[in-house]
């Protein structure tokens, strides 16, 4: 296994990580990423196999657990109830209860509301040059999730601020200031959600929080702490990914002067999948090996943490023809942007719906939309999204 070095905060890597991914994939199915000290893979087949192999999981093995500073306790107290960080049987229980409330029917029913919200946000866009990410890309998903949960829409700026601070804990090169901001945001978010959960217990409404409270299977229900963590997870994971996907997607469409036919009803699903494949919002995720496992001829020791490079796997030429080319007409094949296996993202249907609704409306309403400045990606790895998207619509 080759050992490669690449700082995830290097400015060139932040703007374009794909050359490193190509170099890493050429080293074989797996390589050691020195800067993380982790066995890593950008091989589509290897990544897909690990995602679906129950000998790998998200939950940290007891022997690998390290004590965290007391000052971070509020953040990790929330993480302790996150189905994202758990394995069966607790993961199975939490996910099944959440899916009883977060149904495909409930998500599909949001389409008219997302449509109306897109038009409303476009109506309010400023004249001249503006940041589409701030005016549209960030606002759309946070308002949608606020309405879905049943919290006041005017709380959207606070939800956005708390979400941005909390996901800072997952970014490369985090420092004490970022950790302190994440803890403060966690405490504010938990206090806010606790009030709302208790209010919905007393006064049920037609919203996701009420549905989560009512969700029951074999006598099991979500505890208040589980409810709070689930709501925070749905906002943080879904919102962060959708914001980046909107920004990355509009950037691709404008840079490639994509024909409007790619946004037609019969083509939009493929266009969105190609956006998610080519420049996904999340670039890396990890799994722990619960026993010694051999994958594609490579021995993964028990207790090893393996880093799956989703964005690299999505450009594996063994899985996709001419993978670096943006081709909205590409035949749809499963990409790994939302994961796979038992941890496949529960918010993926909502994220896809938002993109499928928003992108055609945006380009239809703003036919003269063009880039006003070269877009730059933010230093937020292992996320991958723009700092801003300066555009003009005339």
Give me the DSSP letters along 251-282.
HHHHHTT--GGGGSTTTHHHHHHHHHHHS-SB
State residue 235's pLDDT score.
84
Beta bridge pairs of residue 5: none
Within 13 Å of residue 3, how many CA atoms lie on the same side as its CB? Answer: 5
Which parts of the chain sit beneath pLDDT 70?
A: 238
Instruction: Tell me the domains of the chain and their CATH numbers.
Output: 2-392 (1.10.630.10)
8 Å CB contact between 256 and 326: yes
Q: Residue 352 has which token pair?
A: 């896809």
State residue 202's pLDDT score.
93
CA 359 – CA 247 distance, rounded (Å)? 10
Is residue 100 classed exposed, middle or buried when 0-12, 13-18 and 19+ CB atoms within 10 A define those classes?
Answer: middle
State residue 276's pLDDT score.
98
Backbone phi and psi for residue 356, each to the nearest 5 degrees, phi listed first? -65, -30
* DSSP summary character for residue 297: T
Q: Record the pTM.
A: 0.94
CA 207 – CA 147 distance, rounded (Å)? 8
Backbone phi and psi for residue 392, each to the nearest 5 degrees, phi listed first? -125, 155
Classify the C-alpha dihedral 43-46-52-55 as positive or negative. negative
Within 10 Å of residue 155's Cβ, how many Cβ atoms? 16
CB environment 26-53: b (16+ within 10 A), e (fewer)? eeebbbbbeebeebbbbbbebbbbbbeb
Q: Rounded to a whole number, what is the largest CA-CA distance in the chain? A: 59
Within 10 Å of residue 212's Cβ, how many Cβ atoms? 23
Reported as type and span, the H/E element at residue 2 is strand 2-4
* DSSP summary character for residue 136: I
For residue 349, how far is the Cα from the chain centroid? 12
Within 10 Å of residue 15's Cβ, how many Cβ atoms? 12
State residue 71's pLDDT score.
96
State residue 220's pLDDT score.
86
Q: Residue 321 has which token pair?
A: 């023809």
């Amino acid at each position: 296994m080759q050992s490669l070095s690449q700082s995830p905060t290097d400015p060139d890597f932040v703007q374009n990580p794909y050359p490193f991914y190509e170099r890493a994939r050429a080293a074989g199915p797996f390589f050691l990423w020195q800067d993380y000290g982790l066995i890593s893979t950008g091989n589509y087949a290897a990544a897909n196999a690990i995602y679906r192999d129950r000998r790998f999981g998200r939950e940290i093995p007891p022997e690998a657990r390290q004590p965290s500073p007391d000052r971070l306790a509020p953040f990790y107290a929330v993480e302790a109830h996150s189905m994202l960080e758990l394995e069966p049987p607790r993961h199975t229980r939490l996910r099944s209860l959440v899916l009883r409330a977060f149904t495909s029917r409930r998500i599909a029913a949001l389409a008219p509301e997302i449509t109306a919200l897109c038009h409303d946000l476009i109506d309010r866009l400023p004249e001249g040059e503006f940041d589409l990410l701030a005016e549209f890309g960030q606002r759309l998903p946070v308002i949608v999730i606020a309405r879905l949960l049943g919290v006041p829409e005017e709380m959207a700026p606070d939800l956005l601020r708390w979400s941005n601070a909390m996901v800072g804990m997952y970014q490369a090169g985090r420092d004490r200031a970022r950790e302190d901001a994440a803890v403060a945001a966690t405490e504010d978010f938990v206090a806010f959600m606790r009030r709302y959960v208790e209010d919905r217990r007393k006064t049920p409404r037609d919203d996701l929080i009420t549905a989560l409270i009512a969700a029951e299977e074999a006598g099991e229900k979500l505890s208040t702490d589980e409810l709070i963590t689930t709501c925070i997870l749905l906002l943080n994971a879904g919102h962060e990914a959708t914001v980046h996907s909107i920004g990355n997607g509009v950037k691709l469409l404008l840079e490639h002067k994509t024909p409007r036919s790619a946004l037609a009803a019969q083509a939009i699903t493929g266009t969105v999948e190609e956006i998610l494949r080519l420049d996904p919002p999340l670039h890396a995720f990890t799994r722990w090996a619960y026993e010694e496992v051999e994958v594609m001829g490579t021995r993964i020791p028990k207790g090893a943490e393996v880093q799956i490079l989703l964005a690299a796997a999505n450009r594996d030429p063994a899985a996709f023809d001419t993978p670096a080319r943006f081709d909205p007409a590409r035949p749809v094949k499963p990409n790994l942007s939302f994961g796979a296996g038992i941890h496949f993202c529960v918010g993926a249907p909502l994220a896809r719906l938002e993109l499928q609704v928003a992108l055609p409306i945006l380009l239809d309403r703003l036919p003269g939309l063009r880039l006003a400045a070269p877009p730059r990606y933010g230093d937020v790895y292992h996320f991958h999204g723009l700092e801003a998207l300066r555009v003009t619509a005339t």
